[in-house]
Amino acid sequence: SDDRSLVAALRAPAPSYSFEFFPPKDDDGEAVLWQTIADLEPLDPTFVSVTYGAGGTSQERTVRITARIAEQTAMRPVGHLTLVAQTRGEIESVLKQYAAAGVDNVLALRGDPKGGPRAPWEPHPDGMTYAVDLVELAKELGGFEIGVAAFPEGHPDAASLDHDAEVLAAKARAGADYAITQLFFRSSDYFGLVERVRALGSDIPIVPGIMPILNFAQVARMAELSGAAMPAEVLEQIEPIADDKVAVRAKGIELATQLCRDLLAGGAPGLHFITLNRSRATREIFEQLRADGLV
């Protein structure tokens, strides 16, 4: 990591690379996470981020873990924050806790409905409706660099891909400094999003989110929930070996590494790895990209 702002790092010629974690459910899970963080820190990521759950305990863990990363490591933490089941005052208080802990980077998200990503969204009666409202609040409080979500295949509720791109451009106009995408499998979906957003006059850096297929059922479920389709060209390669866990994992690493190469070759500003709190797959992909001289 370096002393530049995160957005300066994302706008620099060298690609960024970053790692995403989630708040563990219990202390055993947290021990695994700290080991993973220790394993990944030597790679000197541009930033690491921690997702934000729907329950009070997991939300407290997110704030505590990002604060400890800021305090005890050389890495730059990004704290995710959502609007789910919280009043405007509660959301503002989390932003202030982040700031007080030295976490001055937030990923401003709406969050998914309590009934899951496909349930209808109902804002808290004293809360906020769209992620753009949170961007505005963080901007108003000041002192934050603000990231937002982007969707190469469109958000599942988006009226159209064009409207989806307009939502991202509006978040940028409200003060978002950069975006990170939902997982996806085809570089063409990512480049399509970038093109739509640029056509709207926005130059916001859009960092692709990368999640290798290590466990077929798990990725298929996450993809379905997030509205990312598992494309035929991926299914064709995984399905014939679906019963062989070792082969699936190797193929998943190979496909993700190739996706990363294509994204960087096409001008993506960096790579954001969804680690699921494990370091091995990310390190394997990273080592191959480093051998290629790409990171």
Size of the site for ligand FAD (CB under 6 A): 23
Using CB under 6 A as the binding rule, whether residue 60 contacts ligand FAD is answered as: no
* CA separation, residue 173 to residues 11, 82, 95, 163, 220 (Å): 17, 19, 20, 15, 34
Gyration radius of the chain's alpha carbons: 18
| Rounded CA separation 83/138 (Å) | 13
**Residue (140 or 157) nearer to ligand FAD, CB:** 157
Least distance (Å) between residue 239 CB and ligand FAD:
26
CB atoms within 10 A of CB 163: 12
The piece of 7-15, 93-101, 176-184, 252-260 that touches ligand FAD (CB under 6 A) is: 176-184
| Rounded CA separation 104/162 (Å) | 31
Angle between helices 187-199 and 245-265 (to 10 degrees): 30
**Residue (211 or 289) nearer to ligand FAD, CB:** 211
Using CB under 6 A as the binding rule, whether residue 176 contacts ligand FAD is answered as: no
Element (H, E) at 34: helix 27-40
Site string for ligand FAD, 88-107 (x = CB under 6 A): -------------------x
Using CB under 6 A as the binding rule, whether residue 167 contacts ligand FAD is answered as: yes
**Residue (193 or 295) nearer to ligand FAD, CB:** 193
Using CB under 6 A as the binding rule, whether residue 196 contacts ligand FAD is answered as: no
Among 1, 5, 51, 215, binds ligand FAD (CB under 6 A): 51
**Active site annotation includes 20:** yes
Among 16, 182, 187, 288, binds ligand FAD (CB under 6 A): 182
Are 152 and 184 in contact by the 8 Å Cβ rule? The answer is yes
SS3 274: strand
Using CB under 6 A as the binding rule, whether residue 58 contacts ligand FAD is answered as: no
| Beta-strand pair 77-81/105-108 | parallel
The piece of 5-13, 35-43, 177-185, 283-291 that touches ligand FAD (CB under 6 A) is: 177-185
Element (H, E) at 188: helix 187-199
Burial of 204 (0-12, 13-18, 19+ CB in 10 A): buried
Among 52, 98, 184, 190, binds ligand FAD (CB under 6 A): 52
Structure tokens at 173: 């106009």
Beta bridge partners of 17: 271
Q: Scanning residues 144 to 163, which ones bind ligand FAD (CB under 6 A)?
A: 149, 155, 157-158
**Residue (155 or 251) nearer to ligand FAD, CB:** 155
Contact positions vs ligand FAD (CB under 6 A):
51-52, 80, 82, 107, 109-112, 117, 130-132, 149, 155, 157-158, 164, 167, 180-182, 209
Q: Name the residues annotated as catalytic.
A: 20
